[in-house]
Amino acid sequence: MPLGQPLRLGRHSVFPPLLMAPMLDITNRAFRTLVRGYGGCGLFYTEMLNARRLPTESAQSPFWQGLGVERDVMVQLLGDDPEALARSVERLLPLDPFGFDWNLGCARKKITHWGWGAALLENPQATARGLRALRQATDKPLTVKIRLPEHGHPDLFKSFIKLLENEGVDAITVHARTAADGFKRPARWDAIAQVKSWTKVPVIGNGDVQSAADAQAMFQKTGCDAVMIGRGAVGKPYLFKTIINQASGATEPAPEAAKVLEAMLTCLDTALETPKGAREFKVFCRYFAQTLPVPHWFWAPLQSMTLGPELAKRARVFFKK
């Protein structure tokens, strides 16, 4: 089945309507470059960036790497303070990102504790204040990424979606799980279809897409306007291309794990020698290895390693197997 229409984001359109999910410690410049190299991904996101820190962050901040050069990256903001959100947008606008996304879905306790992320799902007033500030700060695409609310009647959720629409968001990404679900239970795709039926705003479906067949099924079962992929695309950074191939009837063998690893190390380049780069490479390895039976002898020593080249050596031994 061919892929659907481009995803409309305000005056812009995104094709293919396949998006790489924002992921802390993973969707950095190197990983985006890796995925972009395989092709098929229409839009990328930074990891979540703290709006309290962004306005005063150094111009050389590693969190910004690639912005100003990459034209297909949404910046994801985290926080609830309208002033900080607006000032973060103003700070980053000169780097001309594709647009901005506001995180309304992070369920980590240390985030929701501040009233940020998924806590905002239960605070429509704060959500409206934040969106007004963001909408005033930019006419670039503005999206939100939500998850399913934990409490409350479905009518409350419906009115929350209407609020997002009324405050002028250009798309709503639905990670179809509640905070309590964690990754323990399957994503509830029926909720994506439900949100789609409630709003005129484009809906981006997210949760548990691990293969081309899953992506097609999500489009078909939910009617979503785009599919966003997280963990599945770390395990297979070429997954977006596989989806495109399948949609057009083309076949291409999947690259070997060792080749993908080498490509990732090339993309990391000297970043691997920094503590941040080394730590993020470790996180990449964890998700990259998710489809393989990873033996204890690989993980145990890896956990205590902190130096990038040492980690790379270990990963090469493992992924060449």
Q: Could you tell me the CA-to-CA distances from 32 to 202, 259, 319 in Å, in that order? A: 24, 17, 21
Asked about 267 being catalytic, the answer comes back as no
Measured from the CB of residue 84, what is the shortest distance to ligand FMN in angstroms? 17
Using rule CB under 6 A, residue 118 touches ligand FMN = no
As given in the structure block, the two tokens for residue 34 are 């890796």
Nearer residue to ligand FMN within complex by CB, 88 or 206: 206
Contact (Cβ atoms closer than 8 angstroms) between residue 185 and residue 216? no
- Find the length of the chain: 321
**Using CB under 6 A, which residues numbered 36 to 65 contact ligand FMN?**
47-48
Give the contact letters, 155-184, x = binds to ligand FMN (CB under 6 A), - = no.
--------------------x---------
Contact (Cβ atoms closer than 8 angstroms) between residue 164 and residue 201? yes
Per rule CB under 6 A, count of chain residues that contact ligand FMN: 21
> Which of the ranges 101-109, 252-260, 291-299, 301-309 carries the binding residues for ligand FMN, by CB under 6 A?
101-109
Measured from the CB of residue 188, what is the shortest distance to ligand FMN in angstroms? 12
Measured from the CB of residue 234, what is the shortest distance to ligand FMN in angstroms? 8
Nearer residue to ligand FMN within complex by CB, 36 or 175: 175
Measured from the CB of residue 183, what is the shortest distance to ligand FMN in angstroms? 7
User: Which amino acid is located at 130 in the chain?
Assistant: G
User: Which amino acid is located at 200 in the chain?
Assistant: K
**Using CB under 6 A, which residues numbered 199 to 218 contact ligand FMN?**
206-209
Q: Where are the beta strands (DSSP E) in the chain?
A: 7-9, 12-14, 18-20, 44-50, 73-78, 99-104, 142-148, 171-178, 203-206, 226-229
Contact (Cβ atoms closer than 8 angstroms) between residue 83 and residue 133? yes
Using rule CB under 6 A, residue 99 touches ligand FMN = no
Residue of closest CB approach to ligand FMN: 230
Nearer residue to ligand FMN within complex by CB, 209 or 271: 209
Number of Cβ atoms within 10 Å of the Cβ of 198: 18
Distance, CA of 192 to CA of 150 (rounded, Å): 15
Measured in degrees and rounded to the nearest 5, phi and psi for residue 73 equal -125, 125
Nearer residue to ligand FMN within complex by CB, 195 or 209: 209
Using rule CB under 6 A, residue 130 touches ligand FMN = no
Q: Could you tell me the CA-to-CA distances from 307 to 14, 265, 311 in Å, in that order? A: 38, 14, 6
Give the contact letters, 4-43, x = binds to ligand FMN (CB under 6 A), - = no.
-----------------xxxx-x-----------------
Query: One of 41, 106, 224, 267 is an active-site residue; which one?
Result: 106
HSE-CB of 250 using CA atoms within 13 angstroms: 10
Using rule CB under 6 A, residue 106 touches ligand FMN = yes
Q: Which residues contribute to the site for ligand FMN (CB under 6 A)?
A: 21-24, 26, 47-48, 76, 103, 105-106, 145, 175, 206-209, 229-232
Annotated catalytic residues are 106
